[in-house]
Structure 1
Amino acid sequence: MPKVGIIYNDEKPIANDIAVELQDKFTNLGWDVSIATGIGGILGYSTPRSPVCHTPIEGLTPPGFDSSTKFVIVLGGDGTVLSASRQVAPSRIPMLAINTGHMGFLTEAYVNQLPSAIEQVLEGNYEIEERAMLAVKVFRKESVLWEALCLNEMVLHREPLTSMCHFEIAIGGHASVDIAADGIIVSTPTGSTAYSLSAGGPVVAPGVAVLQLVPICPHSLASRALVFPDSEPVNIHPVNATQLVMTVDGNGGCYVFPEDRVTIEKSDYSARFIRLQSPEFFRILREKLGWGLPHIAKPTSVEIP
């Protein structure tokens, strides 16, 4: 019996309704259906009084979502896709992401395209695009306090974000550098169009095997975005008298104290997206962010008498 998964945003009525319809549809077709909400991929928060909030990376996978699952239909916006990627990446399950939200930068199709999208997938007429993910961990001495898979970015900053922080950062085997800024972003190529872009970082095409380090409002003209190979791990030591806050993909986080260190490296797991047509990154940039669209009329040629 073939197996399919459904992950949906239970805060959106349309996603709830479609999830029920899809469950009935695939059950009638003789499929085994596993269903879960995206809330299961939301990362927990630690607090100063309880700094340990450690759910292992593999611990977010919902029951029934194993490697025998052919694919998962994700119903929601980008936040649901980010959550679902953490839930299914350890099992290497490909995701068909259907946009019921707003921007939908990570989704493949809209709700009104769902019937034809499913038909195309069932016919095997699709490609799988793999997106790199990060393994983010917070250590105190040799103990892991917190860890998470990350598809977009890790952000480390002071709470509230109103004053400068100091960081000692080592990339791979290179010497440590000192950065003074409001915070630090470490981003994947997928995350280069998210917070990193707003902070002045470059846009990186998904297939490029790099990461980027972006200081937030740096206190130096010399501290600018850095792009480096994703084979090199990052170690961050906060040099502050008070705790900082770390968030991953904008929805979960951990307090980081002066005695802690943060490690970031490319994960062995990746997010696997079902693409109904060959991925065309520049088209998505144009449609979603307006990249490359003319804002003024092009000059016309003038004949000189």
Structure 2
Amino acid sequence: MLNVPSVSKNLPYQQNPPEKIGKKVGIIYNDVKPVACQVTQELTAKLEAYGCQVATATGLGGLLGYANANKPATLAPIESLVPKEFDDSMDFAIVLGGDGTVLSAFRQVAPAGIPLLTVNTGHMGFLTETYLNQLPHVLEQVLAGNYQVEERTMVAVRLIRNNQSVWEALCLNEVAINREPLTSMCHFEVTIGRHAPVDIAADGIIISTPTGSTAYSLSAGGPVITPGVPVLQLIPICPHSLAARGLVFPSAELVTVSSANPDPLVMVVDGNAGCYVAPGDRVCLQQAKFSAKFIRLKDPEFFKVLREKLGWGLPHIAKPTSVELP
């Protein structure tokens, strides 16, 4: 038996249900986690009892998988990932899982403009708004319309081969391009907007949104960028030059990355979708016409999240100036 709080027993209006709510609600869940599966069943039954129309989908639909190096990339248009019954008539959707499921869910619902209430059933939960034990109270507020929507920039990524788009994906965090299976130096030619191309020699490169600035690019030495700033950043991974440093530039600029390597490279989007980049291919990135819409119960406090999740800005405790030996 799973040791999780019973959502159905604690959902709002348990004693005196109101008139039928009549909202259309979606649920996207990580079907690998038994907790998420159980909560999905309970939520569906209770919301339907309130007169809500409920549609469910797994986060698997947003995972594009990894192309085989010996096989051409398979094109799955960005809009094709929207689950059946998820459309612009949906009031909101709930995602149950960790950060990986949240990233996958936004790839599924962003083209339909659906705001997401993100519920953490994972570990870090940097992108999630609430926890499972708080869901009954939070859901009461959301059903009553007591929330606001925070929009985050997403990037449309396309692989161009022989002047044709052969692979594409939506990105909320970052795009990483590197060699595999062993890490070694690569050469990239990067063009940003109308500016002259630049050459970068590094193990790889990361192009990150402000949301992704606290993910892979942070580990690679990139700065933290507060959400809402209309920029992207380019971070070399272990560059082979003292002159190669991170670059922040307007998100409206088109970015084109070409490989100057004789062997294929691998491109990974948000850590859960990828394809191979062959010699002669171009990777094109530009700000997507879709945004990630997060449901927030109060004004977002980004510095608080940084402090709680990553320990940023905690007071420094000085070491004693002298130690008395026994």
| TM-score, scaled to structure 2 | 0.90
> Percent of aligned positions with the same letter in both sequences?
65
What residue in structure 2 maps to residue 197 of structure 1? 218
Say whether the 8 Å CA contact 1:172–1:232 is kept in structure 2. Answer: yes
CA distance in 2, matches of 1:290, 1:279: 18
What residue in structure 2 maps to residue 89 of structure 1? 110
Say whether the 8 Å CA contact 1:99–1:109 is kept in structure 2. Answer: yes
In the alignment, structure 1 residue 17 sits paired with structure 2 residue 38? yes
Deviations 1:264-297 (A, max 9, x none): 1100000000001110000000000000002324
Give 1:20 shift.
0.3
Q: 2:97 aligned to 58, 76, 87, which one?
A: 76
Say whether the 8 Å CA contact 2:190–2:257 is kept in structure 1. Answer: yes
Paired residues for 1:225-304 under 5 Å: 225-297=246-318
What residue in structure 2 maps to residue 128 of structure 1? 149
Give 1:252 shift.
1.2
Deviations 1:116-149 (A, max 9, x none): 0000001111110000000000001221111000
Give 1:161 shift.
4.0
Say whether the 8 Å CA contact 2:27–2:93 is kept in structure 1. Answer: yes
Say whether the 8 Å CA contact 2:259–2:282 is kept in structure 1. Answer: yes
What residue in structure 1 maps to residue 185 of structure 2? 164
Q: 2:171 aligned to 150, 168, 171, which one?
A: 150
CA distance in 1, matches of 2:300, 2:196: 38
The letter for the 1-side match of 2:275 is: C
Deviations 1:59-116 (A, max 9, x none): 1110000000000000000000000000000000000000000000000000000000
Give the ranges of 4+ consecutive aligned residues of structure 1 lying more than 6 Å apart after TM superposition.
none
RMSD between aligned alpha carbons? 1.1
What residue in structure 2 maps to residue 98 of structure 1? 119
In the alignment, structure 1 residue 8 sits paired with structure 2 residue 26? no
The letter for the 2-side match of 1:235 is: T
CA distance in 2, matches of 1:298, 1:93: 50
Per the alignment, in what secondary structure is the counterpart of residue 162 of structure 1?
A: coil
Per the alignment, in what secondary structure is the counterpart of residue 220 of structure 1?
A: coil
Q: Which runs of 5+ in 2 are unaligned?
A: 1-21, 321-326
Per the alignment, in what secondary structure is the counterpart of residue 125 of structure 1?
A: coil
What residue in structure 2 maps to residue 137 of structure 1? 158
Give 1:227 shift.
0.3
Give 1:155 shift.
0.3
Say whether the 8 Å CA contact 1:51–1:254 is kept in structure 2. Answer: no
Task: Give the 3 Å change call, closer, same or farther, for CA 211–161 of structure 1 in structure 2.
Answer: farther
Q: Which stretch of the first structure deviates more once superposed, 266-275 or 287-296?
A: 287-296
| TM-score, scaled to structure 1 | 0.96
Aligned length: 299
Say whether the 8 Å CA contact 2:162–2:281 is kept in structure 1. Answer: yes
Give 1:298 shift.
9.6
Say whether the 8 Å CA contact 1:161–1:182 is kept in structure 2. Answer: no
Q: 1:183 aligned to 201, 204, 213, which one?
A: 204
Q: Which stretch of the first structure deviates more once superposed, 217-226 or 160-169?
A: 160-169
Q: 2:234 aligned to 192, 202, 213, which one?
A: 213
